[in-house]
Structure 1
Amino acid sequence: MQVEIWSDVVCPWCYLGKARFEKALAGFAHRDEVTVVYRSFELDPGKVRTEPLLDMLTAKYGPQAAEMEQRVAGLAAEEGLGYRTDREIGNTFDAHRLLHLAREKGLEGEMVSALFRANFAEARAVFDAGVLVEVAVEAGLSQESAEAVLGDPERYAEAVRAEEREAVELGAGGVPFFVLGRRFGVSGGQSVEVFEKALERAWEASA
């Protein structure tokens, strides 16, 4: 059974959802027969400049933005995840292009984890080409292959856009968006229990 996860590397609920889904999958009886594929989705595809995250959130939500971030940091800590609130926000299109390279090389899971860790736990600017190459190497990709993709803006560009269009066609209003066996959808960073039930239901339907 295939599980597809539409997410963005700067989405905190995608970060939490990934951890919770993985806990559910670890306890799933048929986990060895489940293939996980990450799909591209940009929260802000038109974003041009990189800026401090809290500045952006404060402009959008007001003075309660910092408190909101601290609440998410607490939820991340409950999942054993690092979470820094002093990180930046920027355009993630290049990160998604590198994820397609990683999928081609069989390293997609490693790349997703490395990008999430770099952004949330280490507050590294995953919008910067140099940082992206470093993260790609940490995930197991070669420096040369990562630099080649970043040096050619058309490499995997259409693949990223195609997955974003597919998310819309499937009814995803945001991310994370989980599609299990092309039969069931789960939206948001739900609890481990919700993911456990979704896995069981999708497996039974596919039998």
Structure 2
Amino acid sequence: MRVEIWTDIACPWCYVARARFDEGLAAFAHRDQVEVVHRSFELNPEAENGTVPIIDAVAAQYGRTREQQVAREEQAAAMARSAGLDFRIGGRVFGNTFDIHRLIHFAGTRGRQNELMDLAFRANFAEERSVYDRRTQLGLAVEAGLDEAEAHAVLDDPNAFAAEVRADERMAAELGASGVPFFVLDRRYGVSGVQPAEMFTRALEQAWADRPAA
């Protein structure tokens, strides 16, 4: 069975939902027969990298006050901590995730996609390091077990794995996903948003039971 997961490294709800999915998958009896494929989704594809605090940028984007956005950050932080994740508030900046998505696709060709995604989410939310910075991206790639020269070549070539990122985004649109996190089980069932681990387990069980007969 295949599970496809659309996320964005800049999305706090994806950070939490991914951990809860992993917990739900661990409780699934057939977990060893589940292939997990990570798909790209950009929440802000037109964003430019800079130094604008994420709280101010997102508040302006959605017409919220700064206080309202801080409250949402605190809500996300509480959910993350309940899932055993660290989450800091106030130090992240707004940026474009296209390059880190390209790098994640490259990591998939080397069997290190999960490792890089874990490190990128942690760097962004637990450490408040800029995942938009080239040096940070290369450091994460090396820490994930990728060859530094190869990772550098991918980042230096704007076309490297760009088509794969765009294909994921088109696929998300075709499936009706307007936001993330978004989970698709065997192209038959969809689960969106931050759900309890138990719900992910039930969804996996349902999808497994409804598989076409061999």
Normalising by structure 2, what TM-score? 0.94
After TM superposition, give the deviation of residue 49 of structure 1 in Å. 3.2
Q: Which residue of 2 aligns with 1:180?
A: 185
- 1: CA distance, partners of 2:147 / 2:5: 25
Quick one: distance in 2 between partners of 1:100 and 1:47? 20
What SS does the aligned partner of 1:185 have?
strand
CA deviation string 1:154-188 (max 9, x = no partner) = 00011100110000001111101100111111011
1:122 maps to 127
Give structure 2 stretches of 5+ with no counterpart: none
Residues 17-32 of structure 1: pairs in structure 2 closer than 5 A: 17-32=17-32
Whole-angstrom CA distance in 2 between matches of 1:193 and 1:178: 15
2:114 paired residue number = 109
Q: Report Cα offsets for 1:55-76 as digits up to 9, x if no partner.
A: 2133231131112211211111
In structure 2, C-alpha distance between the alignment counterparts of 1:134 and 1:196, rounded to whole Å: 34
Residue 98 of structure 1: which of 62, 86, 103 is its match? 103
* Letter matched to residue 3 of structure 1: V
User: Which of these residues, 74, 83, 86, is aligned with residue 79 of structure 1?
Assistant: 83
- The residue type paired with residue 116 of structure 1 is F
Matches within 5 A, 1:1-16: 1-16=1-16
CA RMSD of aligned residues (A): 1.0
SS at match of 1:112: helix
1:88 partnered with 2:84: no
Give 4+ residue runs of structure 1 displaced > 3 Å after superposition.
Answer: none
Paired AA for residue 2 in structure 1 = R
1:154 aligns with 2:155: no
Question: TM-score normalized by structure 1?
Answer: 0.97
Q: Which residue of 2 aligns with 1:169?
A: 174
Q: Percent identity?
A: 52
User: Does the CA-based 8 Å contact 2:5-2:184 persist in structure 1?
Assistant: yes
Residue type at the aligned position of 1:203: W
Give the match for residue 64 of structure 1: 68
1:46 aligns with 2:46: yes
CA deviation profile, 1:60-102 (whole Å, cap 9, x unmatched): 3113111221121111111110111121120000000001100
Hey, what's the Cα distance between the residues in 2 that align with 1:34 and 1:2? Answer: 6
Equivalent residues of 2:181, 2:192 under 8 A apart: yes
Amino acid at match of 1:187: S
Question: Could you tell me which amino acid in structure 2 is paired with residue 20 of structure 1?
Answer: R
